[in-house]
Structure 1
Amino acid sequence: MSEPIVLQVVGRLRSDLGATDAAPHQGDEGAPDAWLVLEAGYADALAGVVAGDSLVVLTWLHQARRDMLKVRPRGDPDAAWTGVFRTRSPHRPNPIGIHPVRVRAVDGRRLLIGPIEAIDGTPVVDIKVELGPVGER
């Protein structure tokens, strides 16, 4: 039986993308920049983050289906059914989004980041520095 896990929403994305059908599949496929607005209680966690940094933003894809175990990759009806753990589909038991982004600007507890394909209002559950090659960690 699954053990429940509680995640804290540390912020939300403010994007021009208002609906999932308007969003590209990946950030590097024409996604815009967006503002990541941290909850006030997490502002100190941004210490040291500057424009130009490469980060990985982890989101909770709140409009994704959680009951799908197989999908047709990229929504292609001609593609073979594939297990979601072999895809980047948002539809999965735990719809956690992984978004490598560049920090464009820092304004208090707001980060202008991009490109990012998540829609407006998407909850952010964590932010991590992007890892380079193993020797650079």
Structure 2
Amino acid sequence: MESTIKFIGKIHSPLKSLDDCPRQEDEGAPAATIEIFAEYLEGIQNIAPGTDLLLLTWLDKADRTVLKLRPRNDPNAPLTGVFSTRSPDRPNPIGIHTVKVVSVSADGTIEICGIEVLDQTPVVDIKHIWKYKVSE
């Protein structure tokens, strides 16, 4: 079976090296923007400021050979299977990020609050986070 992933955009971030990146978005990640490629602009039509999004990225600098690691690079931690961690190093380095939209421009630029990825990281997909009310 053969599959292809189409990147729909890329991240513009002040983070330029892996050493600059916090481990999680709630650990001091900076604001960034998502540049949506022209052929996918129709797909962001209803994204508005204040919207919560689930952003999927392709962590292209990751080591795709890693199957075991020490979580959070802690030398005292036991070796752990990569699928039990949030490490970017894994066979398919898909990043999952919860972000809030700050602004959306007509040219397809979406300003978001903190995200812990490098500048130029490819965007795989965007999903709206729906908040359903449960009636009693």
TM range (shorter): over 0.9
How many residues end up aligned between the 2 structures?
A: 134
Aligned residue number for residue 126 of structure 1: 125
Change (3 A) 1:88 1:134: farther
CA contact (8 A) 1:61 1:96 kept: yes
Which secondary structure does the structure 1 equivalent of 2:22 belong to? coil
Residue 133 of structure 1 deviates from its aligned partner by 6.3
Identity %: 45
Note the 1:66-81 alignment, pairs <5 A.
Answer: 66-81=64-79
Aligned residue number for residue 27 of structure 2: 29
Which secondary structure does the structure 1 equivalent of 2:11 belong to? strand
Which secondary structure does the structure 1 equivalent of 2:112 belong to? strand
Which secondary structure does the structure 1 equivalent of 2:40 belong to? helix
The runs of 4+ residues in structure 1 deviating greater than 2 Å are 131-136
Q: Does 1:52 align with 2:53?
A: no
Q: Deviations over 1:29-76 (max 9, x none)?
A: 000010100000000000110000000110000000000001110111
CA contact (8 A) 1:36 1:110 kept: yes
Change (3 A) 1:75 1:49: same
Residue 135 of structure 1 deviates from its aligned partner by 4.6
Residue 4 of structure 1 deviates from its aligned partner by 3.4
Q: Given the two structures, how large is their TM-score scaled by the length of structure 2? A: 0.94
Aligned residue number for residue 112 of structure 1: 111
Query: One-letter code of the match for 2:75?
Result: P
Query: One-letter code of the match for 1:7?
Result: I
Change (3 A) 1:51 1:74: same
**Structural RMSD (CA):** 1.5
